[in-house]
Amino acid sequence: MKKPKTFKPQSQELPGQQSKMVPEPEVIRQGYEGADKLRGKVALITGGDSGIGRSVAVYFAREGANVAINYLNEVKDAKDTQKMVEAEGGKCVLIKGDIRSESFCKKVVETTVKKLGGLNILVNNAAVQFPKDSLDGISSKQLLETFETNIFSFFHLSKAALPHFKDGDTIINTSSVTTYRGSEHLVDYASTKGAIVGFTRSLAKMLAPKKIRVNGVAPGPIWTPLIPATFDDVTKFGQDTALGRAGQPSEVAPAYVFLASEDSSYITGQFIHVNGGEIVGG
Ligand code: NAD
Ligand code: MG
């Protein structure tokens, strides 16, 4: 697929719908060949209905995994992802609901284990963002929603998943370039994404003796439903990167395959920066 450099004006409500985006993001690179890197593994992916999470689900399935995806309420997007995973020969369990609730997070993990026979890979990926240009604009309600969704849920889900994990199993957390470079429009969101970095590094050390690895991906501007659902002007989205364009989810998900598979067996507590060329530390 030729990667677009500009986008038509468009806007949506949160959570955005992939099926309503123009053009729809590329889910998997044409010609990507699976190599059984995740054969026999079970993955749970939050926000797996769309965007980066959908691509991770489809790449994981092409690598031989079965997947469970959690999503807030985007039924059509979730069913579309399920069809794509099944077309790869994988099973796909859909689990709808709000991961701000700790008891629901436990249910998500239990459902995954019951329906797919275990859990080896947890991808903490769901998030919200509400751009605001002043601190006054960030209400306590918004602050709580952003932290509960973007980082508290990572604690709830990791806690629930751990009892099922064995040697070689992994957690992968989605952060963002905004935390590394700072973002004047997304102070609360970037703060949660920084918390995810601390969480990942610390949990990696805590779980290393159990041979469970914890890593993350820090994407730059990626063409997903989150973008038209939260930014006023998407027309030049991603043009300020070194590569001069937004990334597609299909270009992000292979980093998750690497971090989930044995190829990264000596890597823990680290982030891969899939951001179109922004040089950031850590
Ligand atoms: P997306 O809208 O496709 O995915 C976000 C998902 O989060 C949604 O599908 C939604 O179902 C889920 N979600 C939101 N609130 C929830 C809740 N309370 N309970 C359960 N699920 C909930 O957008 P995306 O861009 O693919 O986002 C995936 C991750 O990538 C997020 O962590 C985001 O912060 C991160 N990220 C995206 C970009 C980008 O430019 N798109 C850049 C950096 C980081
Ligand atoms: Mg979605």
pLDDT in tens, the chain (282 residues): 889 999 999 999 999 999 999 999 999 999 999 999 999 999 999 999 999 999 999 999 999 999 999 999 999 999 999 999 999 999 999 999 999 999 999 999 999 999 999 999 999 999 999 999 999 999 999 999 999 999 999 999 999 999 999 999 999 999 999 999 999 999 999 999 999 999 999 999 999 999 999 999 999 999 999 999 999 999 999 999 999 999 999 999 999 999 999 999 999 999 999 999 999 976
What CATH superfamily classification does 39-272 receive? NAD(P)-binding Rossmann-like Domain (3.40.50.720)
User: Of the ligands numbered here, which is closest to the C-alpha atom of 229?
Assistant: 1
Ligand 2 centroid to residue 71 C-alpha, Å = 7
**Predicted TM-score (pTM) of this structure:** 0.99
C-alpha gyration radius of the chain: 17
User: Of the ligands numbered here, which is closest to the C-alpha atom of 148?
Assistant: 1
Of ligand 1's listed atoms, the one at least distance from the Cα of 249 is: 26
- Residues 6 or more apart in contact with residue 58 via CB below 8 angstroms: 27, 28, 81, 84, 85, 88, 253
- Residue 255 CA: distances (Å) to CA of 15, 197, 251, 274: 24, 16, 8, 8
Ligand 1 centroid to residue 96 C-alpha, Å = 14
List the 92-96 sheet strands across, edge first: 92-96, 66-71, 42-46, 121-124, 170-174, 213-217, 271-272
Q: Would you state the pLDDT for residue 67?
A: 99
Please tell me if the CB atom of residue 78 comes closer than 6 angstroms to any atom of ligand 1: no
